[in-house]
Structures are given as structure tokens and as C-alpha cells.
Amino acid sequence: MFDYLIVGAGFAGSVLAERLASQLGKKILIIDTRSHIGGNAYDCYNEAGILIHRYGPHIFHTNSREVFEYLSQFTQWRSYEHRVLASVDGQLVPIPINLDTINRLYGLHLTSFQLEEFFASVAEPKARILTSEDVVVNKVGRELYEKFFRNYTRKQWDIDPSELDRSVTARVPTRTNRDNRYFTDTYQAMPLHGYTRMFENMLSHPNIKIMLQTDYREIVGTIPYREMIYTGPIDLFFDYRYGKLPYRSLEFQHETVNTPVHQPVAVVNYPNEHLYTRVTEFKYLTGQEHPKTSIVYEYPRAEGDPYYPVPRSENTALYKKYQALADATSGVHFVGRLATYKYYNMDQVVAQALTIYKKLRETENRRSPE
Ligand code: FAD
Ligand code: UDP
């Protein structure tokens, strides 16, 4: 008899498996339809021996000391600050838009102060910032919005930014200094030996059994367990009772090229050209040295594995209906990006899982006080 059946071996499921087994001595069965642990953060060595991220680039960054210290039990780190260039008007310029972006794009020599004035002169101030278009146009005006955001967003989401919640483009700041880092979080690092190794360390407790290449629906009536932690898509759990929640997918085209370096930074974004949104060169992320290099192209897709919840009000409303069903389903806990339909980064999923763990611990302690 397992205490917990955990559906999904990504960050949400693995954190909970680790905590419940190591801290409360619970017996865990963690199960995934895929042939590996790690969920979308899975990495592996390809045929050329280069460490790649199968499901696209995963860069770890967080402001949460608790999350960073928690994961540090399972991995050492390699300091890494992420930098991205965007291909715009025939040049590769920094994104997030900063002082160098504007000076290079327009052949200017503005200071930070002058750039603030420039932004103020081109911005279209909005009384209410509701959409992903509002966020950008309100700060940097329509021309820069068109060059950097409009087409990228349409490609990625198949929706105009004016129909997407403001939270999507708000992920990318605007700067008037020369800081060209993609993130400014306190902790920015990559697991020294990769994500998969870190997940292996999390799941190595003898109380944790792992079952791969299995949909939980195949075993749910046959293997006894007390409670379930579910990290798959919430609409699937309820057999799409209210219809499908939109999730956006990607097709990853991996390639190894016979040259040590392919592009000047880890990621180049292509807002206006090509059918792909961005190209990632993994060696920048991992620090690996190798005579060849591996890259991945991301092609947005409507069909395929669910990768991104689509933040817009009608989807949130539909999610709320599923959430009400989830709240009324006793013995099942919904955690993670797909099960709570939130556009969460890895650290946010870890934080959410640690919070759920603390709640479960309270319930367990009430059930059998020490
Ligand atoms: P997942 O990792 O999706 O795990 C859920 C697991 O459940 C999956 O392995 C799935 O196979 C399994 N499952 C689903 N249904 C079933 C079922 N019926 N039976 C059994 N198993 C099932 N975050 C960052 O912080 N930094 C980044 O740079 C970053 N880059 C990203 C790039 C891309 C292209 C994508 C898609 C995401 C990125 N993220 C990034 C977000 C990150 O991937 C997620 O926050 C995190 O992996 C979510 O963990 P999770 O456990 O909630 O979900
Ligand atoms: N975005 C854009 N142009 C860019 C980078 C981002 O329009 O050069 C928008 C786009 O809508 C994207 C969102 O901002 O989906 C969030 O970008 P982020 O890089 O955080 O996306 P993720 O890494 O989660 O795919």
C-alpha cells in the first residue's frame, strides 16, 4: 500500500516525493507517461555527447533563498547569467531592450537619462494596463513593440498581444541602463551535472518507487494508495468535462553542428523572421567544452505536448471551473504548471510544491501526532 501516488515526475511531483519520503517516511509511487524523470526540465547527452535540454532551454533563476537552498541539497551549481539577443532590422541587439539596444538600433549615443526621455516621447501611456500589448506600448511605444514583441508573440501564442493577459510580455522588462542579463534574480545558476542528475538525487530515497512509460489511468484501479498528488493537465483529470483548456505546444528541432561555436550568445530570438521563435546553443548554458555544438529551434504549435497555459481571461474562467472540481475532490492534490494552469517558472513550481508539502505535513501530524 503506497501512502501517495504521485502523477508526474517533473519538479512538482519530484519535490513532493522527496519531502514526503525523506521527512515523513511516506511510501511513494511516482509515475510518468514519459520514459524519463525530470518532466520538461529533463536533460541528456545526445549522440555527439553534448548535454542538451530535450524540451527547450531551461535556465534556473530565483529570488527565493528557500528554493535555492532546498535544491542545493541535490546538486552543486555552475554560476550562469543568461543573455539573449534579438534579430531586428538586420542586427543582433540585446533583449530585454536596454540602452545599447536603442543606441545600436537607431545609431544613437544616448545616455540613460536621455533614453528615459526618449521612451517618454514615444510611449503611449495607458490608463489601464490589461493586455500584453498595453504593457509594451505603454513603456516603449508602438514602433519598438512592433519590432520586438508583436510578431514574436503572435508566432508563439497564435494570438495578438492585445488579446493576451499583460502577465505574458511583462515577463520581459525594459531597461535604461546597459544591463543585458535576461534575469536579475539573486540566484542564477545551472545544476553542475545537469537537471536529470539532480532529479535522480531527489528520487533516490528507498521509499520512492518510480514507474515510467505509464499513464496513471492504466494503474489507478489496481495499485492501492491513500492519496494522490496530480501534476498533469487539470482538464485531462476531469475528462475534459467543461471542454479543453488551451495549452500551447512547441516542436523542438535539435541539431548538432560541426563547429565549436554557432552563435554569439546562448539564445537568439527571431521576432520577425522564420517560423521558429528562438535558437538556443546549449554549451553556453552548461559550460561544456566540445569540438561540436548542439542547438535547438523552437517552432510554436497548437497540437502536441501541453507546454504553456495560455493566460487570458476566458481561459482563467474555464480553469476556475476545473479548480472548483479539484477543490471538491478529496484525497487528490493538484500541483504544478499544468495542474494549476499557471505560467510558472521552475522555481515557482518548487515553491508551490514546498507549500503544499507543509500543508500535507500538518494534516499528517494531526492524523498521527508524534
Ligand atoms: P512538468 O515538468 O510538465 O511535469 C509534469 C509531468 O507529468 C510530465 O513529465 C508529464 O509527462 C507527466 N504527466 C502528465 N500527464 C500524465 C498522466 N496522465 N500520467 C502520468 N504522467 C503524466 N522555467 C524556468 O524556470 N526557466 C526556464 O528557462 C524555463 N524554460 C522553459 C522552456 C520551455 C520551452 C518550457 C515549455 C518551459 C520552461 N520553463 C522554464 C518552465 C518549466 O518547464 C516548468 O516550470 C516546470 O518544468 C514545471 O514542472 P511541473 O512539474 O509542474 O510540470
Ligand atoms: N517576447 C517577445 N519577444 C521577445 C521575447 C519575449 O515578444 O523577444 C514575449 C512573448 O510573448 C513571450 C513572452 O514575451 O512568449 C515571454 O517571454 P519569455 O522569454 O519569458 O518566454 P519563455 O522563456 O517562457 O518561453
pTM for this model (two decimals): 0.98
- What's at 24, amino acid-wise? L
Please tell me what DSSP assigns to residue 245: P
Asked whether 41 lines ligand 1 (CB < 6 A), one says yes
Asked whether 31 lines ligand 2 (CB < 6 A), one says no
1-37+203-244+310-370 fold? Rossmann fold (3.40.50)
Q: Which of 3, 323, 335, 39 is nearest to 202 (CA)?
A: 39
- Cβ atoms 289, 274 nearer than 8 A: no
Asked whether 82 lines ligand 1 (CB < 6 A), one says no
Q: Which of 136, 196, 146, 189 is nearest to 166 (CA)?
A: 136
Cα torsion through 313, 317, 322, 324, rounded to 10: 130
**Residue indicated by cell numbers 517533473:** 10
Interatomic CA distance for residues 203 and 174, integer angstroms: 40
User: Is the peptide bond preceding residue 96 cis, with omega within 30 degrees of 0?
Assistant: yes
Joined grid coordinates for residue 24: 515523513
Asked whether 337 lines ligand 1 (CB < 6 A), one says yes
Instruction: Indicate the top mutation candidate among 181, 346, 348, 356 to test ligand 1's pocket, ranked by most ligand atoms within 8 A of CB.
Output: 346
- Exposed, middle or buried: residue 81 (CB in 10 Å: 0-12, 13-18, 19+)? middle
Interatomic CA distance for residues 45 and 43, integer angstroms: 7
The DSSP result for 127-144, as a single string, is SS--BHHHHHHHHHHHHH
Asked whether 31 lines ligand 1 (CB < 6 A), one says yes
Please name the residue whose Cα sits nearest to atom 2 of ligand 1.
39
Domain boundaries in the chain?
Answer: 1-37+203-244+310-370, 45-83+181-191+247-309, 96-171
Quote the pLDDT of residue 344. Answer: 98
Quote the pLDDT of residue 124. Answer: 97
Quote the pLDDT of residue 367. Answer: 83
Quote the pLDDT of residue 370. Answer: 58
Q: What is the mean pLDDT of each run of 10 residues along the chain (370 residues)?
A: 97 99 98 98 98 98 98 98 98 98 98 98 97 98 98 98 98 98 98 98 98 97 97 98 97 98 98 98 98 98 97 97 98 98 98 98 85
